[in-house]
Structure 1
Amino acid sequence: MAKINPFKAVRPTKDKAGLVASRPYEDYTEGELKAQLQYNPFSFLHIINPGYKFQHEITGEKRFQLVKNRYLEFKEEEIFIKDPAPCYYFYKIVTRNDSFFGIIAAASLEDYENNIIKKHEDTIAFRENLFKDYLKVVGFNTEPVLLTYPDSAVIDELIEEAMNTRPEYEFTTHNKETHFLWTICEPKIVEQIKREFEKMPALYIADGHHRCSSSYILSKESKAENPMHSGEEPYNYFMSFLIAESKLKIYEFSRLVTDLNGWSKEEFLMQLDEQFRIENRGSQLYSPKSKNHFNMYLDGEFYSLFLRKTNYEFTDSLSTLDTYILYEKLLKPILGIQDLRNDLRISYIHGKNDLIEMKSEIDSGRFTVGFGMLPLTIEEIKKVADEGLIMPPKSTYIEPKLRSGLTIYEF
């Protein structure tokens, strides 16, 4: 039984929503970032990059405190307001090729602890604790964890009804995305939504494992420090964006490697031949067509690699994943890559960027060889999570990606 609650969001006034909302900080080029900070005083980037005010780069806890200061300034200037009553927030994004909609809400960290909210990705302790320290100082979170739930006709109908009314926000961004947000505070509808989620035995983290884990660590610390702890304090929850399983868009990551681990091209191909059936596809762009089928780009030519299943044993849901197979049969034993997160010899391109980018990176000499595969399915992700297993890093690139600053969760 999943506990998904409404909450009182802090959010921009209607006239400034499009100016405040920003992409993730790392998505901006240096030039874009400078332009936003110089010419848009309402951008949320001023909060997460507080050193700009002093023309000085600031790191560590000093930066965290300045982030909080900038945030408080936005509230004092009434750029941000706090809703007087708990609400759900229906959010829709229309891109050039897709449309996504879901619910922004507060999800229970007790559900995360009890595996009602299930994960499929491992986390790094350093990143968990760094973001936990950040949250503890600033006292708010603006990046929802992406959760997915089984399709619900009731929730779809409620969202559809809301979309026939005038949204609280509607704005279009420079990359031609249109964003809509509706506030849902009517008690009867709030109760319907809450009950629908209570019927669901499990939810799954699609994106945001580190954010979720950091919130969990902070909640445990806050509980220990609060002798009046009741279980309903805001620190017992985290902001989430809940989207139906059928509405997610899942892409793969291609793998690029800088060298052949000391093998000549011919030796490398012979090593591969023991594990895969290899076919040279020439210089034309080539994509895999089925599971356990990979493409490879090497020395100006594409190859297809078909797993030799007589040399491989499928033992659980993890062993069936193409990302795991590629690691176990090629990247680790042949190319010598043990640590997929930290080895500087490997890099990744998400599947929204097509084969042309892989070819370009290798033709430029920055990398020697590249590998691609089909994206995983939501069924594969759920099976891994249900079995308590962990997928290899960079197994999925999942959309939608939300803007920062539209709804803020305080604790």
Structure 2
Amino acid sequence: MPIMIIISKRLAVLLVLLSIALSASAQERNAVVLISVDGFKPDYFERTDTPHFDRLIQEGVLADYLIPVFPTLTFTNHYSIVTGLYPENHGILSNTMYDPEWEVTFSLGNREELVKGRWYEGEPLWVTAENQGVRTASMFWVGSEAEISGVRPTRWNDYDSRLPHEQRIDSVITWLSLEDETRPDFITLYFSRIDSEGHRHGPDSEEVTRAIADMDADFGYFISELERTGLWDSTNLIIVSDHGMAAPSEEKVIFLDEIIDLDDVRVVGWGPVSMIRPAEGKRETVYHLLKEAEDNYRVYYREELPEAYRIGNHRRTPEIIMVADLPWSITSRSFFERRGVLAGNHGWDHREPEMRTIFLARGPDFHEGKRVGPFELVHIYEMICYLLDLEPAPNDGSLREVHHLIRE
């Protein structure tokens, strides 16, 4: 038999064996569904009857609380969760920010910019996974609508806040039920109602209590569907949130236009945090006026920011930052007259107890009935990479901080 034919046959056998090995590896890998319940505080588990959350807690791992990054805002924290990076290293410093190099503003209302991958630095989990041959899907997450480093999730959706929770869950069940070659092993899922009710009515409102009960029912539906389809024992659920919620007061307001001339600055964001770009030649004047009036807030030059904030080393960080003491808010007279203050808000210092958030995980790769101490949410990226047998991209997290949550 010619040598080339022998080599070709051996190569074919090796390729078949490799294919079988990869297929077996995919079958052995348990899926990970990362679920965010926006604005969910640790004490919400005790606010009302939540039998399905209770079951997940009994069968899984619950942290005392999860420590968010600063500022305690939706986009900043969601992107830190999936990259394992602090804001200064991933570039999403706030829900609203200005890039001086591009002279463009990023905001929740500017979808044209929101979906551009150039804003999102670092490597989110779906990019890490897709680059290593693991399929992913997203039923909403910050950054999932953008092409980042030339990569998107295999399946993704344009964000639609009106899409019923049950339909979101049904999509996830459909994806998990696909054949091994096409099934995503990492999926994100996002719910915003509790955050929305907290903003409208305040964290201690009956509306939030009802939203918690409804969210528990949604998880009950999700659990029943996982059990019905035989996926319950091969799916890891990781439930997190991005920040807590506090009740500001209309009597505790800092009017910026009573301290400085707003014509001398560009203000990006009202509320617990204001990012201020002084006009040319006005930096010292603006800072000293704010410093002299400093009461119920803290003002910093960019280079003086507390190290714990981890936002100072990025070009999108403005020269001056104001951080209100909780529950104070920063605004202007005209903005206040038009909008007042929200009944509930977030964004304050990430070390404030009311800004704490949640971590709850249940599945074949997690311990059962275990309570653990608090940890920073930047460690979740490394944890999920470990569960999916992925080589993590450079990040600020550490598997050592969360390895004790995982079964061996």
TM-score, scaled to structure 1: 0.24
TM-score, scaled to structure 2: 0.24
Q: Tell me: higher relative CO, structure 1 or 2? Use CA pairs within 8 A at least 6 residues apart.
A: 2
